[in-house]
A and B are shown apart, each in its own frame.
Chain A
Amino acid sequence: MVDVAMVGAGQTKFGNHPLGLKGMWSEAIEKAFSSVDNDCLPSMVDEAFIGSIAFGGSQLGNTAALLTEHSGMDGVSVRRVENACASSGFALRDAWMTIKSGQADIVVAGGIEKMNDLSAERKRYWLGVSGDTEWERLAGLTFPGTYALTARRYFHEFESTHDDLVHVSVKNHMHGLDNEVAHLRKDVSFEKASSGAMVADPLTLYDCCPTSDGASAVILVADHLAHQFTDTPIWVKGSGAGSDKLALHDRPSLTQLRATQLASQKAYSIANVQPNQIDLAEVHDCFTIAEVLATEDLGFAGRGEGGLFARNGQGRRNEGNVTINASGGLKSKGHPLGATGTGQAVEVFKQLRHQVEAPRQVRDAEIGLTHNVGGSGATCAVHIFGRER
């Protein structure tokens, strides 16, 4: 079967972006194509998959056609992929499968979201559309609420306290401090992160990622074309995806994400890689408790030991077996819903090519992983990348 290589990747800065959808997308595409070592043009693309929730309802229909129209990909077969916050993780998977199946040779996967030019009321409405509307939302829950329920239960079931979440927050802010594309670039002390304003008890402001504007894109090609474009392709060694019950209360466990477990098991199996071989992982820390669960569900820590993992600083850059969220993660880099998944891939692409600015570079990075979750865990896509095929 065809192998798939990533030969280009680019993104806008995440945060309060002055541009609209067309401007942000074209900037991400421009950067992705200019990152390819040898000539590669938008007109060469066979297929494109663009993840977005179309937050705010802006160009809700035919979003993808508008974006490719404005990025030099006229006539390309394109569609919007929507799986909440995992939209572009699934766009990446769709792109990978398209090349694997032999139906296309050059495919763009990306994502975009414009979140910060809405009124507070409208923003809160759109932040809640991906949860379970009929049962959870009518009980007063949006995602801070569902993750708060998970956190409190986690503390009850295991030897863990809110301090463990504070460690996650401090680490990710430290990692994001030097990241030029990060939304929140600030050093946050343990004391400060411990005393944030309560959002959903026990989660405070420092446990929650920001809402960001942004776009990201990667260029995937079939193996026979990889070295036409670069001498250092990054291989997509494995892709896995899974789903779970939409509502938290319908799941057997409140402290595990089955979708992550299913997705990672498939990705590890296809890549023939074990968790202890991963050098860096960009995990979906929409809330700090989500990173604690992810370290367990992805196999970096044992069941119930994710809090301890954070407490011991095991995910810090170049300090443990695996660096967790070298980019700053969603907590610091930001979370433009639909753009987050391929934004993670952009970071891994640069890290594995050893092209990240000095203080942020993960030493000797050979294998990286991205973990992109939709909602409170209803969907998940995991990808494993490597310098070696």
Chain B
Amino acid sequence: MSDMTLESQHSQPIAQRRIGLVFMLRQDPFAFAAVVVLVLFALLAVLGPTLLGDIATSMNLRARNAPPFELERGFWYLLGADALGRPILARVILATRTTLLIAGAAVLLSMVVGSVLGLIAGYRGGFLGDAILRLTDIVMSFPSLLLALVVLYVFDPAITNVIIVLAITRVPIYLRTVRAEVMEIRSRMFVTSARVTGAGPVRLIGKHILPMVFPTIVTIMTLDFAFVMLAEASLSFLGLGVQAPNVTWGVMVAEGRNYLSSAWWLSFWPGLAIALVTMSLNLVSNWVRMVIDPVQRWRLEGKGEK
């Protein structure tokens, strides 16, 4: 089923496919907007810190908690200022790179490790499968604060350690999801002929299992992105993670916590950035999935023909 899809797509001339993609993207305003947002944030991540200089880090106590949408302090103060009078707009931009780097690395790492282990546990089963599963039970029950403290005490508070701590705590969800799906698909495979016709495990996983598991995994990933960005902030407060003057959206949201009842904008804008990225990733992944899935593809193409 799904392997046929892939093959039929491969057989299309590449150029034609590319035109089709852009065309289809334009037809879906949500997906289009999402791609624009992601490209924008990617640009900010690459260029932001160099373009900003020290606008985002120099304090100005007279502008402390300055409200948004007042232009007399200049463009950078459009979104207001934080508790040290630093322009929030500039800080959101400054934080983009570190935020996306940490969250992206942590999510990818947990996804890859979790999925591989989940595939093994689901496909092989037996002793190894049991061992892997019980290991996730342990990880799920281990207090993440304790884990963070151990890392803090034993290792240096480097950003890679933050990524590892975050990734470890998120591995179980991918692992369990993939395993459950693999078991289900595998049992279905007994009924169908794939096994009988002598397909090897690699082919089986690649052609039958991954395409089925992938949409769910991607959905969880996009949502985990938001979670990881926020969780990272709590590590920063322990001293593990980014330290001033470096900043992330999660840290900004958390710093604004104490001002929620008096200056909502401190945590609102970075929170909005987190929500925007999460939402865009999700919309794009939904769209990509529809493009790949022939059963759904008509919805995009059909609209175009009208």
A binds B: no
